[in-house]
Amino acid sequence: MSDVAHADHGHAEHPKVPYFLIAGALFVMTVITIAVSYVNLGKMGNVALALFVASIKASLVMLFFMHLKYERKTLIIISLVPYGLALILLLALFPDIVFG
């Protein structure tokens, strides 16, 4: 029995995840991040762009490699909670950042 036939019959509920496409996108975005870091967009511009691209890459990893796109809503909510807490943590550090 071929892999494809096996996958179709035994695990019909498994979605086809475009793993190679996602890996390709992550490769391209890594190259873009490095290339753009040599272009002067102003300190904040470079930082914002690098973190924006990193966030997209992280989202792709979570959605496709970690299968979050195909998971139950409960698990998706659980997995997102710490990002809210991390945001609160950064906001709590804000006075230290501003007033040093």
Radius of gyration of the chain (CA): 19
Are 64 and 19 within 8 A, CB to CB? yes
Are 39 and 94 within 8 A, CB to CB? no
Q: What is the rounded CA–CA span in Å between residue 17 and residue 19?
A: 6
In the list 20, 39, 40, 42, the residue contacting another protein (rule: CB under 8 A) is 20
Report if residue 32 touches another protein, rule: CB under 8 A. no
**Long-range contacts, stretch 75-80, CB < 8 angstroms, 24+ apart:** none
Residues 49-78 that bind another protein (CB under 8 A): 50-51, 53-54, 57-58, 61-62, 64-67, 70-75, 78
Q: Given the rule CB under 8 A, which residues bind another protein?
A: 3, 6-7, 9-15, 17, 19-20, 22-23, 26-27, 30, 33-34, 37, 46-47, 50-51, 53-54, 57-58, 61-62, 64-67, 70-75, 78-79, 81-83, 85-86, 89-90, 93, 96-97, 100
